[in-house]
Structure 1
Amino acid sequence: MKSRSTLLSLVVILAALTPALLAGCAGTAPRPGAPVATLFADGRFAPPSEPVGADDLFALSPAMQAYLRSPAFTAQVRNKGVERGLVDALYQKGQLNLDYDASSTRNAAHTFATRSGNCLSLVIMTAAFAKALGANVYFQSVKTDPSWSRRQGLHLASYHVNLSFLKRSQYAASSDGYRMLTVDFLPSGEAAGYRTEPLTEARIVAMYLNNRAAEALARGQLEPAYWWARKAVEHDATFLAGYNTLGVVYQRHGDLPLAERVFRDALGREPDNTALLNNLIGLLAEQGRVADSQALAQRLAALEPVPPFHYFNKGLAAMQVKDYRGAKALFEKEVARAPHNHEFHFWLAEAALGLGHAGAAREQLALALENSNTPGTRERYSEKLQHLRANHPAGSRAN
C-alpha cells in the first residue's frame, strides 16, 4: 500500500504552526472518551530534562516590565489609550521591529527577548502585556482553511487565531458603550470577512503545549515531544490535536498498540476527524492490517476527496521525469488552494524555469520569498532570486 504522510496541526496565526488538524475549534464538544490518564505511558520515556508546562506563559520578564515603563511606551498609552497604545507600541514600524518566525512557539518573555515568533507566540506576548495593563483580552479562532507545511515527514496544519480587546468608547455602536479592538496577524484586511469563534485561555495554553510537542517531534526529539503532548492532553482533554500528536509520538517511538489506542480514543470523541483517520490508516498499514486500513481509507476519501499536498506530490513526481508542463499545472492547483504556501510558489518557479519561462520563474520565486515564514527560507529564496535575476534578467529566456 502507498505510504501516507503523518498529519499534525499547529495552532498559529498568520501562517503559522500546531499539531493536530483541529486546532482551536470551539463548536460542539467532542464526545467523552477514556480517562486521559489511561492513555499515558510515562515509564516508556526518560524524565524531561527541562520543565514542561506553561506556568510562565504570560509572565513578564524584567525587560518587558522595563519596556512598559519606558517613555516611548507610556507616551503611546497616554496619547491613544491602553488598547490602541499597546498595539502601536508593539507593532508599529520603528518600535520593536518584530520578525515573523514560524519555526518555533515561544512564551511571552522569549518572544520579546528574541523579537521574533510565530503568530501564536505574538498573540501570547500581546496578551501578556495587555494583562499587565488591566485590559480585557479575548482570544478567537478565525474560521479559515488551515495552512499546510511540511517538516521531517510531517504535514503540519496551521490554524489562525487572533485576540481582541473590549474597549469602552463614547463612539461605540453597542448600547453598553463598548467596542472591540481586534489584533490580527493575517495580511491587512484578509481576516475581516471570516467567521470567528471564542477561545478560552485554557485552549490557547493547550495549543502552546501542543505546538511545543509538534516542534520537538519535527526535530526527532521523541522524549520531550511525549512530555509536551502529554501536558497538552492533560491540560485540555477536549483538545483533540494533543491526542493526535501523542499518537504520532507513540507511533514513531515504536509503541504501535499505544498509538492505535490514542487514535481510536480520539476518533471516538470526533469520528470524522480527518487527521486522526489519516494517521490511523498509516498505522494499520504499517502493521500489515491491509483490510482494516483500506476500509478506513475509503471512509477518509469520502470525507476528504483531495487531501493536503495531493497535487503537490503529483507535481514533484512530474518534475522527477522532467514533465515541467504537467508539473506546472499541478503546482498551480495547489497555489489556487493555498496561495500563501511558499513551497508551492517555489516549485512553480522551478517548473517555469524548466519550461524556459524565466519571467514567470522570477515572479513565483518573489512570491515564495514574500510568503516565507522562517529566517532560513527567506535567506534561501533571496539568494535564489538574486541568482535568477543576475543570470536571467527581464526579457531573457531560460535555457
Structure 2
Amino acid sequence: MDLNFDLMRNSYLSCLFKLCIISLLSSLLFSISGCSQKAIKINKVVSVDLLPPDNDKSLPNLPLSESNIFSLSKSQEDHFLTYLARYKANEIGSNEAIKKYLEEELPRFDYDLFTYSAEKTYALRKGNCMSLGILTTALAKLANVDFSFRLMLSNPVYDDAGGIITSARHVKTLLFESAKDTEEGESVSPPPLIGFRDAIVVDYFATREAFNGLYIGYNDFLSLYYQNAASEALQLGEVEVAYNYAYKGYQVEPKSLSGLNILAVISNKMGFKKQAENIYRAVITFDNTNYIALKNYSILLKQQHRWREYKVLQQRYISANDPNPFLLIAEAKEAEANERYELSKRLYLKAIKKAPYLLEPYVLLSKLNDKLQRESQQNYHLYDALKWIDNPEDRLTIKEMLYTNLK
C-alpha cells in the first residue's frame, strides 16, 4: 500500500469523541483507539490504589521508555538530518521535507497489526497507523517541527478471528510550519485552536469515507501506544507483560477511558479482582453508559456468582448503544440459548443495522425464524442481505439458503 500525504487547512470540530478500537478476548472487552460520539477522557484523574507491576528483568518486552519509543538509530538520524539540511538549503520547509523524506524512504509502507517503535518501523518499513505516527513524530522532533494528532472517523470495519473482536480506525499525524521556516518577523505561534493552522497531514491508508475527528494531545497518543502494546501482549498470552504496559499507559494519561478499561481487564486476568472492580466502578461513575465497562464489570460479577448485581448491569449494557456488531451478535446468541427469542431477534436486527455487510446476523436471524416457524420472515432479511454483501462466497451462501427455504 502506498503512503498517502495531503496538504490541507484543518478546521476545528467542537464535538468530542471516545477512543474505541474494541477487542473481545474471553468475553472481556478493551478499547484502544477509534471513535464514537463520547468523551475521549473523563474530566479528572481516577484515584485507584493500583498494585505495581512486576519489573522483573527476566520478563520479555518490558515497556519501552518514552525516549526509546521515539528514538532512531544513529545511522537513521544522520541519514534524515543530511536530507533535511539539503531541503532547507533549497528553502523548503521542515514539515514539507519530512513529507518528502517519508515518500522517498517508505514508498511502500506495508500494513502490520503490531505497534512498533520509530526505529523498528523505519527498519521494517511496516506497522499500523500508530507505528507510522511514532516514526513521523520522531522525525518531527529531530527537525523541531510542531506536530499534533487527529483521530479519523469512518464507518468502522469489524473483524472476528480466533475469539478476538477488533474494530479498526486510525490516527493521522499533522506537521506544522516551524518558526525558523517563515520570513523574518512573521509569527507562527499556534492560535487557541490548533485546527486553524496550516498543516501537512501524514495519513495512513486514507479513504474517501473517512472524515476528521478529535485532535488528541501528545500524552493521549503516547498512552495509546502503551494500550496497543498491552493489547498485543494480552493476545499473545503474555499477561504480566500486558499489565506492565497497561499500568504505564495509566501513568501517562490517568484520565483515559480506554486506558482505564484495559487496565481493569488485565487486572482481572491477573487475579486482582477488587482492583478491577474499583476501576470499573470509577469509570461508570463518570460515564454511566460506557458499554465496555458495564459489560466487563457484569462479567466479573457473573464470575463471582453475584447474580442480582449481574442482572442489573446486564440490562444496562444491553440498553447501551455500542457500535460493535459482533458484541450484539454474541448477546443475541446468548439470549437465544436462554430461549429469550424476542430479545435475540432484536439484537440480530440491531447488528444488521450497525453492519449490514456482515453475513452472520442474517444467517442466524433466518435460522431463528425457522426455529420459531415464522416462514414469512425467514427469507425477508436474506433478500435484503444481497443488497449489501459483495463477497462471492457469502452471496452464494445466501442464495443456497434461499433456495433451500423456498423448496
Q: TM-score, normalised by structure 2?
A: 0.67
**Partner residue in 2 for 1:156:** 166
**Partner residue in 2 for 1:118:** 128
Residues matched between the structures, number:
328
Conserved? CA contact 1:146–1:160, under 8 Å: no
- Please give the per-residue CA displacement for 1:305-357, whole angstroms capped at 9, x wherever unaligned: 77532335535647999x99788668779x7xxxxxxxx87xx5432233569
**Partner residue in 1 for 2:256:** 239
Conserved? CA contact 2:154–2:209, under 8 Å: no
Deviates more, 1:226-235 or 1:299-308: 299-308
**Partner residue in 1 for 2:206:** 187
Residue 62 of structure 1 aligns with an amino acid whose one-letter code is K
Secondary structure of the residue aligned to 2:115 is coil
Shift of 1:280: 1.2
**Partner residue in 1 for 2:33:** 11
Secondary structure of the residue aligned to 1:233 is helix
- Please give the per-residue CA displacement for 1:259-296, whole angstroms capped at 9, x wherever unaligned: 22222222223322221112112222232223322212
For residues 290 and 117 of structure 1, the distance between their equivalents in structure 2, rounded to whole angstroms, comes to: 43
**Partner residue in 2 for 1:15:** none
Residue 209 of structure 1 aligns with an amino acid whose one-letter code is Y
The sequence identity of aligned pairs, in percent, is 23
**Partner residue in 2 for 1:221:** 238
| The structure with more radius of gyration | 2
The equivalent position to 1:204 in structure 2, one of 204, 221, 232, is: 221
**Partner residue in 1 for 2:149:** 139
Change (3 A) 1:81 1:41: closer
**Partner residue in 2 for 1:377:** none
User: Does residue 1:351 correspond to 2:397, yes or no?
Assistant: no
**Partner residue in 2 for 1:62:** 74
User: Does residue 1:49 correspond to 2:92, yes or no?
Assistant: no
Shift of 1:227: 0.8
Residue 61 of structure 1 aligns with an amino acid whose one-letter code is S
Unaligned runs of 5+ residues in structure 2 are: 1-24, 329-350, 352-357, 371-377, 401-407
- Please give the per-residue CA displacement for 1:71-116, whole angstroms capped at 9, x wherever unaligned: 6994598474322232132136x84421111x21111111111110
Change (3 A) 1:291 1:98: same
Shift of 1:208: 0.3
Conserved? CA contact 2:265–2:276, under 8 Å: yes
Conserved? CA contact 1:233–1:243, under 8 Å: yes
Unaligned runs of 5+ residues in structure 1 are: 13-20, 336-343, 358-399
For residues 124 and 88 of structure 2, the distance between their equivalents in structure 1, rounded to whole angstroms, comes to: 22
For residues 246 and 175 of structure 1, the distance between their equivalents in structure 2, rounded to whole angstroms, comes to: 35
**Partner residue in 1 for 2:279:** 262
Conserved? CA contact 2:32–2:259, under 8 Å: no
The equivalent position to 1:314 in structure 2, one of 341, 361, 364, is: 361
For residues 168 and 190 of structure 2, the distance between their equivalents in structure 1, rounded to whole angstroms, comes to: 37
Q: TM-score, normalised by structure 1?
A: 0.68
Change (3 A) 1:262 1:161: same
The equivalent position to 1:87 in structure 2, one of 99, 103, 113, is: 99
Secondary structure of the residue aligned to 2:176 is strand
Conserved? CA contact 2:260–2:283, under 8 Å: yes
Shift of 1:129: 0.8
For residues 322 and 108 of structure 2, the distance between their equivalents in structure 1, rounded to whole angstroms, comes to: 42
For residues 97 and 287 of structure 1, the distance between their equivalents in structure 2, rounded to whole angstroms, comes to: 50
Residue 315 of structure 2 aligns with an amino acid whose one-letter code is Q
Conserved? CA contact 2:110–2:127, under 8 Å: yes
For residues 133 and 72 of structure 1, the distance between their equivalents in structure 2, rounded to whole angstroms, comes to: 8
Change (3 A) 1:213 1:173: closer
- Superposed CA RMSD: 4.2
Secondary structure of the residue aligned to 2:150 is strand
- Please give the per-residue CA displacement for 1:143-183, whole angstroms capped at 9, x wherever unaligned: 4465544454333344432221222679x999999622222
Shift of 1:50: 3.9
Change (3 A) 1:295 1:331: farther
